[in-house]
Amino acid sequence: MRRYTFKINGNNYSVEIKSIEENTAEIEVNGTAYQVELGREMKAPQPPKLVRSAPSAPPKAPTPLNTSGLSQIKAPLPGTILQIMIAPGTAVKREQPLLVLEAMKMENNILAEKDGTVKTVKVREGDTVMQGDVLVEID
């Protein structure tokens, strides 16, 4: 269960706690097993109980993507821009990779949300962005 090393009066002791039940512990000291009575009852840690509540309302259908007008592509989480694959004036298709964002040591492709033309690119390679920052505008 757990291992400890103690030094008492210059002597080293290797102690392993095998189990604890109510006020009795089974331990092993330098390879010798012992049953130890504890001064107070020790509670064994209990795993958390997961309780799911029934949904009160059916989930809402996702809203359709805006197919006309200006669309802003925002950073889904904080990170660093590693690569930009488009420039202003570039025609893009829905789900085409626009840039690569490194976040939490993982590379994430940021995709176009709709067909259109890139109006502006608000970041440069190497820029650090925060969640929700506008990266690209597509018209």
Residue 37: its pLDDT value, please? 86
Mean pLDDT of 85-97: 93
H/E/C letters for each residue in the chain? CEEEEEEECCEEEEEEEEEEECCEEEEEECCEEEEEECCCCCCCCCCCCCCCCCCCCCCCCCCCCCCCCCEEEECCCCEEEEEECCCCCCEECCCCEEEEEEECCEEEEEECCCCEEEEEECCCCCCEECCCCEEEEEC
Residue 59: its pLDDT value, please? 65
How many Å apart are CA 62 and CA 70, to the nearest integer? 19
How many Å apart are CA 55 and CA 42, to the nearest integer? 38
Main-chain dihedrals φ then ψ at residue 50, nearest 5 degrees = -95, 125
Residue 20: its pLDDT value, please? 82
pLDDT digits 0-9 by tens, 19-42: 888 788 888 988 899 998 887 655
Residue 60: its pLDDT value, please? 66
CATH of domain 71-138: 2.40.50.100
Residue 39: its pLDDT value, please? 76
CA angle 62, 66, 72 (to 5 degrees): 105
pLDDT digits 0-9 by tens, 96-137: 999 999 988 899 999 999 999 999 999 999 999 999 999 999
- Residue boundaries of the structural domains of the chain: 2-37, 71-138
pTM of the model: 0.52
